[in-house]
Amino acid sequence: MGEFILRIVAEAAFQVAGYATGWVVVPLFTLGRVVVEPRKPGGRVHPKGSRLSRAADGTWILDAEMGCLAGLVFWFAAAGIWWLIRRQWT
């Protein structure tokens, strides 16, 4: 029972942290050309894998799930860089 609750809490924390970071990092690294779409409740199905679409104003809109992945990749890269720097100085 404890593992079940911990799994739900950990998954929610990763989703929130990843999406919030991706929402900031993606436009920052792409200089505003790509933005992350707003999060919608419920599951989404992408039959043709269209995770990136173009808006009427010319900006690209990245799927919320991919924005979450981009945020998590950012944190893993930051942790790896921190680990490398710390390892070299000790």
One digit per residue, the tens of pLDDT, for the chain of length 90 reads 788 899 999 988 988 899 999 999 999 999 999 999 886 666 555 555 678 888 888 889 998 888 999 999 999 999 999 999 999 887
Residue 65, pLDDT score: 87
The confidence score (pLDDT) of residue 49 equals 63
Residue 9, CA distances (Å) to 4, 13, 14, 50 in order:
9, 6, 9, 29
Cα gap 88→90, rounded to integer Å:
6
Q: Are 65 and 51 in contact (CB under 8 A)?
A: yes
Report pLDDT for 48.
57
> What is the model's pLDDT at position 40?
66
The pLDDT value recorded for residue 78 is: 95
Q: Looking at residue 42, what is its pLDDT? A: 60
**CA pair distance 8, 86, nearest whole angstrom:** 32
